[in-house]
A and B are shown apart, each in its own frame.
Chain A
Amino acid sequence: MKKMKAITSIAVTLALSVSALGQSGQSAASSETLIKNATILTASHGTIKNGSILIRNGKIAAVGVDVKATDPNARVIDATGKYVTPGIIDCHSHTASTGSINEGSMSVTAMVRIQDIVEPEHPNIYRQLAGGLTTVNVLHGSANAIGGQNAVLKLKRGKPVNEWFVADAPPGIKFALGENPKRSNFQPQPGQQRRYPATRMGVEEVIREAFIQAKEYMAEWQEYEKKKGTDSKAIPPRRDLKLDALAEILQGKRLIHAHCYRSDEILMLLTLGDELGFKIKTLQHVLEGYKVAKEIAAHKAGASTFADSWSYKMEAFDAIPYNMAVMASRGVVVTINSDSDERARRLYLEAPKAMKYGGVSEEEALKMITLNAAIQLGIDHRTGSIDVGKDADLVIFSQHPFSVYTVPEMTFIEGEVYFDRKADLEGREALKREKEALIKAERGQTGPGQKKDDRPDPNLRPKESPKDQEDINR
C-alpha cells in the first residue's frame, strides 16, 4: 500500500522538487529588506546611482541614496555593480492558463473568463520569473470579435492561486479584429460551417450589434429599477452574463484590450467606439499603429505591441520596429508585450529595440515594459515603478538591463523573492540527485503490468498545450 502511494506521488514530488528550486515566496525573517549600492532605474523619476531601496511589509518604504534599514535584523542585499528595475509587466500573455484560451465557437463570448482556467503549476511560470517578469495580463484568444474576460495576475508561484489575482485591477476583456476573427487562415473541420464574420466589414457589424443589444439590455434594467419601487409586480429582466460584461464596458468599468493589426481596422474600432460610447483601453499588437498614431492618441487608447515581429502573416507585413517610437512620439502610451511565454522571459531585451529603432529614451523604453503596462492595466497606483508606497515588485540585474549580456539575478513580488539565480544554481546538484533517486525508486517498482515503453519519454519535450498550437491566433 505504502509502495503504491509512493508510485503515484512520484510525479507530484518531481514537480514539487522543481518548485523548491526557486525558493518561491520565501520571506525574510524580518519585515524589512534593504537592497543597497545599486543603480536604480525607477521608470518614473530617472536613474539613481549608488542607491538603495528599503522594502517593508511588501511595499517600497524608501528609495534614494541615503536609505537605511530601521530593523537591525533586516535582510541586506548588496547590489554593488548591479541594476534594479521595477518588476516587468507583460500586457499580453496567455501564460498560466490551462487548455484552450479561445472560446471561438461564437463571435461574441463576453461571458467566458480566463480566471476560471488559471493554472499555477506550469514550468513556464518559473522561467518567466527568471526573466524578471512579475505581472501578466492573461488574455482570451483572438478567434472571435468579442472574446472573453481577462485576468491580471502576479506570478506568486507557490502561493494559493487566489492570491495571484491583482484584486484592485479593473476587469478587462479581449476584442479582436482582422484575420483571426474572420478566420481567413483557418480551414473549418469537415462538416463544420464557416462562422460569421468572414470579412472586416462583418467584424464591425458583430461588435456594433453586440453593443446595441447591450444598450437595450441596460435600458430594460433601468426601466425595471425605476418601476420596482412602486410596482410590486415588476418583473426583472432575465440576467444575461454576456450582456452584463458589455454593459460594464459601456459604464466604463471594464477595459477593452483589442487585438488588431491594420490601420483601417484600428480606425474602424476607434470610430465605432466614439459612435457607440465605449473607449478602447489598449490596442494589442497594433502593428500598423504608426500609420494612425494621431487618431490613437486622440482616442487616448494605449498601444501594446511587439518590438520587431513582422511578416508572419499578411496583416503583419507592414509591421515595422519603429512602431513603438512613432506612436510614443505622438503621445500614445506604448508597451511591449510578449504574447508568448518564451518572449516574456526576455522583455528586457525587447525594450532596447525601441531605442535602436527610432531613438526612444532609455527611461521611456523601460516604461514600455513596466510603468506604461501598469497604466494600461489600471494598476499603476500600486506597481510599475520604483516609488515609495508601491508594491516592492523588483528585479536585480547583473548588468544594465538593456545589455544583451545582462542576467536577471533576483525577482521580487511584493517584497518576497520568487527567483534567485544563486539559489537556483546551488540547488541544481541536489535536484539532480533527488531526480535520480526517484527514477531509481520508480524503476524498482515497475510492476509486471506496466510496460517500460509506457513511461514518459524524457527525450520528448512536454506535450504542447492546445494554447501553444493556437499561438498563430495571437
Chain B
Amino acid sequence: MRMKFYTLVSILISAAITLPSVGAQGRGDAIVIRNARIFTVTKGVIENGSIVITGGKITAVGASVSAPGGARVIDARGLSVYPGMIDSGTTIGLTEVGQGAPGTVDTSEIGDNNANIHVDIAVNPESSHIGVTRVNGTTTALTMPRGGLIAGQSALINLDGWTWAEMTLKARAAMHINWPGGLGGGFEFGGGQQRAGAELRREQDRRIEELKKILRDAIAYGNAKDARARDASLPRMETDLRLEALVPVARGQMSAVIHAQVERDIKKVIAFADEMKLKIIISGAVEGWRVADQLKAKNIPVIIGPVNRMPNREDDGYDAVYTNAAMLHKAGVKFAFQTMGSAEARDLPYQAGESAAFGLPKEEALKAVTIYPAEIFGVADQIGSIEVGKLANLIITDGDPLEIRTQIKHLIIRGRDVPLTSRHTELYDKYKSRP
C-alpha cells in the first residue's frame, strides 16, 4: 500500500515535470500570445496586442484577434515580442570544439574550388551550440563553409528541428568566396597575414584571375550544357559538379558572399563583380565605411562582423569598428550583422547594440538582425518580422533584446515553444545544487 502510494506520488510528480515539455507541442498546435507589446519591425509597435500561431506560422497579429478554440495561451503581460534574430554568418552545427578535436569540425574542405559542397547536410542537430545560441534569441542562422578560394554553399537554418532537413530554411543560400590576399574573412585568432606589398599584390591578382577563369569556365559549361539539352546531336557533356554548382552564381542568379575586409580589397571585389556580372554580398567589411558610397552606388549589401575586433589601421579612430554600421547606414547601404563564429553566436544582439552605442539608430540595429538579413538572403517572405503568413519565429522578452540584462521568456521556432534549456543550463542546474 505504502509502495503504491509512493508510486502514485512519483507518477504525479513526473507528470508535472513532463508537462512543460508537453507544452513544447507539435508544429500544428495553435498558440495565442496575449497582452504583449509587439515589435513587428516592419509595421510598427502594437502596444497591447496578440499574435495567433497555427501550423507553425503567424496567422493573426493585432490589437484584437480571434484565436482558434483550444489554442494554448501565453500571457505576455509586461513582456515584449520580437521576431527571432538572424545571424548572417556562423559555423553553427558544423563545429563543436574548435581546437584539439578535429573530428568535431566540418567547416573547411580541402582544395581551392569547393563550390559543390553545401553545408546543410552536415549540420549536427544535436550540436550543443544550437541550444546555447537560441536561448539568447537567435532563431535562424546562416551557417557557412570556410575553406579554399571558393568555400562552398551556406544554408539558412532554423535553430530547432529533429533533423538537418527539418532545420533547413534555405539550403544553398549563397556561394562563399574567400577573397584572395589581404585579409580574408578570417577568424580573429591568427587571422591576418602580412606579406611584402608588391609580392602580395601580384599573388592576389593571380588568384583573382584564377577565380575569373573558374567563373568563365562555369559560364561556358552552363552554355554548353544548355545547348546539348536543346540539341541531342551535340557531344555528351562530362559532368563537373564544381562548375555545375557555379553556373547560377556566374549567371548572377545566385548570390555570392565574398569575404573581404579592407578598403583596397572591397574596391577590387566591386570591380570584379561588375566585370563578371555577379550578384554579390560582401562579408566582413571592417573597412566598409571607407567605401560606403561605392557600395551604395552598386547596391551591394554588406554583412558586418564580428564587431568585437580591433580597428584595422593603427591610426584609425579607436571606435572605427563600432561606427562602421552607422556610417554604412548613413550612406544608405543595406547591411546585417554576423558573429562569424559558433560559440560566440549567442552574443549577436550585443554586437548590434554596440554599433547602436556608436551612432547607429536603435531601430536600425534591430532591423540588421531581423528583417535586413531576411531581405539580403531572399527569405523576407518567411522570416524577419512579425507579419501574417511568416514563420512563427518569435522571442518573448522582458525588455530590449539587444540589451545584455534582458531575459528571454519564450522562444518560438516554427511555431514550437522551445524549452529555454541548453547544455549550459543543464550543467548549471546540476552543479548549483551540489551539496
| Chain A residues closer than 8 Å to B192, beta-carbon distance | 460-461, 464
Residue of A nearest to B188 (CB): A342
Contact, CB under 8 Å: A290 / B428: yes
| Chain A residues closer than 8 Å to B403, beta-carbon distance | 403-405
Q: Mark A284-323, 1 if CB is under 8 A from B, else 0.
A: 0000001101100000000000001111111011101110
With A185-B100, A459-B262 known as contacts, the answer to whether A404 contacts B357 (CB < 8 A) is: yes
CA distance A143 to B308 in the complex (A): 26
| Chain B residues closer than 8 Å to A317, beta-carbon distance | 96-97
Q: Which residues between 245 and 302 of chain A lie within 8 Å of chain B, taking CB atoms?
A: 290-291, 293-294
CB distance from A347 to the nearest CB of B (A): 12
Q: Mark B180-197, 1 if CB is under 8 A from A, else 0.
A: 001100001110101011
Contact, CB under 8 Å: A405 / B405: no
| Chain B residues closer than 8 Å to A468, beta-carbon distance | 190
CB distance from A130 to the nearest CB of B (A): 5
Taking the complex as formed, is B312 at the interface, i.e. its CB lies under 8 A from any CB of chain A? yes
CA distance A312 to B313 in the complex (A): 27
| Chain B residues closer than 8 Å to A345, beta-carbon distance | 318
CA distance A124 to B318 in the complex (A): 9
Residue of A nearest to B132 (CB): A310
CA distance A341 to B308 in the complex (A): 11
Contact, CB under 8 Å: A326 / B431: yes
| Chain B residues closer than 8 Å to A310, beta-carbon distance | 132, 343, 424
Residue of A nearest to B197 (CB): A457
Taking the complex as formed, is A94 at the interface, i.e. its CB lies under 8 A from any CB of chain B? no
Residue of A nearest to B315 (CB): A18
Interface size on B, residues (CB 8 A): 62
| Chain B residues closer than 8 Å to A124, beta-carbon distance | 310
With A404-B357, A454-B197 known as contacts, the answer to whether A130 contacts B313 (CB < 8 A) is: no
Residue of B nearest to A129 (CB): B318
Q: Which residues between 172 and 228 of chain B lie within 8 Å of chain A, taking CB atoms?
A: 182-183, 188-190, 192, 194, 196-198, 200-201
Residue from B314, B354, B407 in contact with A349 in the complex, judged by beta carbons closer than 8 Å: B354
Contact, CB under 8 Å: B428 / A311: no
Contact, CB under 8 Å: B182 / A356: no
Residue from A14, A457, A459 in contact with B315 in the complex, judged by beta carbons closer than 8 Å: A14
Contact, CB under 8 Å: A355 / B358: no
| Chain B residues closer than 8 Å to A462, beta-carbon distance | 313-314
CB distance from A199 to the nearest CB of B (A): 14
| Chain A residues closer than 8 Å to B20, beta-carbon distance | none
Contact, CB under 8 Å: B317 / A428: yes
Taking the complex as formed, is A358 at the interface, i.e. its CB lies under 8 A from any CB of chain B? yes
| Chain A residues closer than 8 Å to B99, beta-carbon distance | 185, 312-314, 472
Residue of A nearest to B400 (CB): A404
| Chain B residues closer than 8 Å to A320, beta-carbon distance | 423-424, 427-428
CA distance A341 to B188 in the complex (A): 12
Taking the complex as formed, is A70 at the interface, i.e. its CB lies under 8 A from any CB of chain B? no
Contact, CB under 8 Å: B358 / A407: yes
Q: Mark B408-435, 1 if CB is under 8 A from A, else 0.
A: 0000000000000001110110011010
Contact, CB under 8 Å: B343 / A402: no
CB distance from A454 to the nearest CB of B (A): 7
Interface size on A, residues (CB 8 A): 68
Taking the complex as formed, is B356 at the interface, i.e. its CB lies under 8 A from any CB of chain A? yes
CB distance from B377 to the nearest CB of A (A): 25
Taking the complex as formed, is A210 at the interface, i.e. its CB lies under 8 A from any CB of chain B? no
Residue of B nearest to A456 (CB): B197
Residue of B nearest to A312 (CB): B98
CB distance from B204 to the nearest CB of A (A): 11
With A404-B354, A460-B192 known as contacts, the answer to whether A358 contacts B197 (CB < 8 A) is: no
Contact, CB under 8 Å: B404 / A356: yes
For B96, B183, B319, the residue with the greatest tally of chain A CB atoms inside 10 Å of its CB is: B319
| Chain A residues closer than 8 Å to B129, beta-carbon distance | 311
Contact, CB under 8 Å: A402 / B404: yes
Contact, CB under 8 Å: A18 / B354: no
With A404-B354, A404-B357, A461-B313 known as contacts, the answer to whether A355 contacts B432 (CB < 8 A) is: no
Q: Which residues between 331 and 362 of chain B lie within 8 Å of chain A, taking CB atoms?
A: 342-343, 346-347, 349-350, 353-354, 356-358, 362
CB distance from A435 to the nearest CB of B (A): 7
CA distance A355 to B265 in the complex (A): 41
CA distance A322 to B315 in the complex (A): 38
CA distance A349 to B315 in the complex (A): 25
CA distance A123 to B317 in the complex (A): 11
Taking the complex as formed, is A104 at the interface, i.e. its CB lies under 8 A from any CB of chain B? no
Q: Which residues between 99 and 119 of chain B lie within 8 Å of chain A, taking CB atoms?
A: 99-101
CB distance from B186 to the nearest CB of A (A): 11
Residue from A321, A356, A454, A463 in contact with B194 in the complex, judged by beta carbons closer than 8 Å: A463
Contact, CB under 8 Å: A127 / B354: no
| Chain A residues closer than 8 Å to B434, beta-carbon distance | 291, 293-294
CB distance from A81 to the nearest CB of B (A): 15
With A349-B350, A461-B192 known as contacts, the answer to whether A343 contacts B405 (CB < 8 A) is: no
Taking the complex as formed, is B77 at the interface, i.e. its CB lies under 8 A from any CB of chain A? no
CB distance from A177 to the nearest CB of B (A): 15
CB distance from A194 to the nearest CB of B (A): 16
Contact, CB under 8 Å: A355 / B310: no
Taking the complex as formed, is A168 at the interface, i.e. its CB lies under 8 A from any CB of chain B? no
Contact, CB under 8 Å: B319 / A130: yes
Q: Mark B149-188, 1 if CB is under 8 A from A, else 0.
A: 0000000000000000000000000000000001100001
Contact, CB under 8 Å: B197 / A326: no
Residue from B201, B319, B357 in contact with A406 in the complex, judged by beta carbons closer than 8 Å: B357
- Which 7 residue pairs are nearest across A and B when measured between Cβ atoms? A404-B353, A453-B198, A322-B428, A313-B99, A459-B264, A320-B424, A457-B197
Residues of B within 8 A of A (CB): 96-101, 128-129, 132, 182-183, 188-190, 192, 194, 196-198, 200-201, 262-265, 308-315, 317-319, 342-343, 346-347, 349-350, 353-354, 356-358, 362, 402-407, 423-425, 427-428, 431-432, 434
16 A-B residue pairs with CB within 8 Å: A18-B315, A310-B343, A317-B97, A322-B425, A356-B404, A405-B357, A405-B362, A407-B357, A424-B318, A453-B198, A456-B197, A459-B265, A460-B194, A461-B183, A461-B192, A461-B194
Beyond the given A127-B310, A457-B200, A459-B182, could you list 5 further A-B residue pairs with CB under 8 A, ordered by the A residue number? A314-B100, A322-B425, A345-B318, A460-B183, A460-B194
Residues of A within 8 A of B (CB): 14, 18, 123-124, 126-127, 130, 179, 184-185, 290-291, 293-294, 308-314, 316-318, 320-322, 326, 329, 341-343, 345-346, 349, 352-353, 355-358, 402-407, 424, 428, 431, 435, 451, 453-464, 468-469, 471-472
